[in-house]
A and B are shown apart, each in its own frame.
Chain A
Amino acid sequence: MIDPGRAGARHAERLIGRLLIGITYLAVLLLLVGVALLIGAGVSPLAGGPRLDVGRLVADLLALQPTGFLWLGLLAVIAAPITRVTIAMLAYARDGDWLMVGVSAGILVVIAIAVVSAVVATV
């Protein structure tokens, strides 16, 4: 018989697995639309795409601009593992596994430092 804690962990793993697969397929779909729009507009991928401008993302999506779909797809790709760690942290907190909560929080802090340090370096 599997103990309840173990069963909870396996359930969380299954949930996280499905989440990763779901986000990946969503990202593939967004990138497919973006690439189709890019090819349809006759733009060469070597033309150099614009940098990420979060403020323009919704407007680009509504205007069916390839940039909007490509950036949203790429952000979904990068967000998938970060979401996985966040969900795992919540599952570990629910089970009272504070060591793994600390490890998960540490990973998220390192990623936050990566973003902040890169922003500071580019200013």
Chain B
Amino acid sequence: MIVGLWMLGGGAAAGVFGSLLGLGGGILIVPLLTLGFGLPLREAVGVSLVCVIMTSSAAAGVYLERHVANLRLGMTLELFTAIGALVGGSIAFLVDERILSLLFALLLAYVAFSMFRAPVGNASPSVDLATVDDEPGVEDPSPPTVLDRLAGDGYEVRNLGRGLVGATGAGVASSLLGIGGGIIKVPLMHLSMGVPLRVATATSNLMIGITGAASAVIYLVHGGIDPYVAGPTAIGVFVGATAGSRLAHRIGLRYLRLLFVVVLSYTAIQMLIRAL
């Protein structure tokens, strides 16, 4: 009973911190379950995938209701994250767990470094949607291209090829490491494809569901998802992420972020030790 409550609490903490700092829960859940509860890494990844799908679905539902996410762009990229997830999920059961631990340690170190360098501010995206151009203009007689059809209100999408390659890579990383992959997809869409940050964040969140589902079905069939662990952890993460999104505007993030850099660095070292 005590272990179940610890898992609920640990999941809630991962959900709160993940939400406050703009990270998906996956990057915290895998170390929590491996280092905290002694689960094999692959099993922790399976549980983490369920948790990221759950938080993604709840958030994506709200984003879609408010028309913030770009559904067409998200689904187009999703096709490729799903292909990446299929490849990664298939590789995950062939690769030595020590290699996965090493990859995870590198990921944690990268996130810690990025967080240390990032300017202090609210973790939630603050860039507003571009204004809609309502000015009547001359009708363009040419038929819309694929990129035209993926554009949103007030912005155009560019570099689709680069986006598709990056999305495939994000899918592989997601299924190998149990993360949502937002740390790849958001910069990819925002910096490379010209999508406003808020839309990129919402669309990335939407995509996590299908990426995670494509991986999760592989873990499910391989027996890589333990329902006894996934149940309490997923509820904890869901409650924590919901609370975190409400606390985000009330908490100063400067010290929290520094604390988190220390925690992530320590966790990266522990995962590295596990890999050696």
Which of A's residues lie within 8 Å of B, judged by CB? 9-10, 13-14, 16-21, 23-24, 27-28, 31-32, 34-35, 38-39, 42-52, 66-67, 70-71, 73-74, 77-82, 84-85, 88, 99-100, 103-104, 106-107, 110-111, 113-115, 117-119, 121-122
Contact code string B53-79 (vs A, CB < 8 Å = 1, else 0): 110111011111111010110011011
Measured between beta carbons, the chain A residues less than 8 angstroms from B105 are none
The answer on a CB contact under 8 Å between A77 and B54 is yes
Residue of A nearest to B83 (CB): A110
The answer on a CB contact under 8 Å between B238 and A28 is yes
Q: Which of B84-92, B178-186, B246-254, B257-265 lies at the interface with chain A?
A: B84-92
25 contacts between A and B (CB under 8 A): A13-B69, A17-B65, A17-B66, A21-B57, A21-B65, A31-B231, A45-B4, A45-B228, A46-B228, A47-B228, A74-B225, A78-B217, A78-B220, A81-B212, A84-B57, A84-B209, A85-B78, A103-B76, A107-B82, A110-B79, A111-B214, A118-B222, A119-B221, A122-B221, A122-B223
Counting residue pairs across A and B whose Cβ atoms lie within 8 Å, the total is 198
The answer on a CB contact under 8 Å between B75 and A43 is no
Instruction: For A81, give its contact among B72, B213, B229 (CB under 8 Å).
Output: B213
The answer on a CB contact under 8 Å between A117 and B228 is no
Max count, chain B CB within 10 A of own CB: residue among A31, A52, A119: A31
Residue of A nearest to B242 (CB): A28
Could you tell me the distance in whole angstroms from the C-beta of A64 to the nearest C-beta in chain B? 15
Instruction: For A18, give its contact among B8, B61, B86, B209 (CB under 8 Å).
Output: B61
For the complex, is B149 an interface residue (Cβ under 8 Å from A)?
A: yes
The list of the 10 closest CB pairs from A to B, nearest first, reads A81-B209, A17-B64, A20-B61, A49-B228, A118-B221, A21-B61, A17-B65, A70-B227, A49-B227, A45-B228
- Please measure, in the bound complex, the distance between the C-alpha atom of A106 and the C-alpha atom of B83, giving whole angstroms: 10
Contact code string B220-240 (vs A, CB < 8 Å = 1, else 0): 111101111111101100100
Could you tell me the distance in whole angstroms from the C-beta of A100 to the nearest C-beta in chain B? 6
Instruction: For B58, give its contact among A10, A24, A107, A114 (CB under 8 Å).
Output: A24
The answer on a CB contact under 8 Å between B65 and A80 is no
Measured between beta carbons, the chain B residues less than 8 angstroms from A82 are 210, 213
Could you tell me the distance in whole angstroms from the C-beta of A115 to the nearest C-beta in chain B? 5
For the complex, is B1 an interface residue (Cβ under 8 Å from A)?
A: yes
Could you tell me the distance in whole angstroms from the C-beta of B218 to the nearest C-beta in chain A? 4
Measured between beta carbons, the chain B residues less than 8 angstroms from A10 are 67
The answer on a CB contact under 8 Å between A45 and B229 is yes
The answer on a CB contact under 8 Å between A17 and B53 is no
Could you tell me the distance in whole angstroms from the C-beta of A96 to the nearest C-beta in chain B? 13
Residue of B nearest to A34 (CB): B231
For the complex, is B276 an interface residue (Cβ under 8 Å from A)?
A: no
- Please measure, in the bound complex, the distance between the C-alpha atom of A50 and the C-alpha atom of B226, giving whole angstroms: 7
The answer on a CB contact under 8 Å between B8 and A49 is no
Residue of A nearest to B7 (CB): A45
Assess A78 versus B216: contact at CB under 8 Å? Given A21-B62, A107-B75, A118-B89: yes
The answer on a CB contact under 8 Å between A111 and B213 is yes
The answer on a CB contact under 8 Å between A104 and B75 is yes
- Please measure, in the bound complex, the distance between the C-alpha atom of A24 and the C-alpha atom of B59, giving whole angstroms: 10
- Please measure, in the bound complex, the distance between the C-alpha atom of A107 and the C-alpha atom of B83, giving whole angstroms: 8
Other 5 A-B pairs with CB < 8 A, given A45-B3, A46-B37, A52-B225: A17-B65, A77-B54, A81-B57, A117-B86, A118-B89
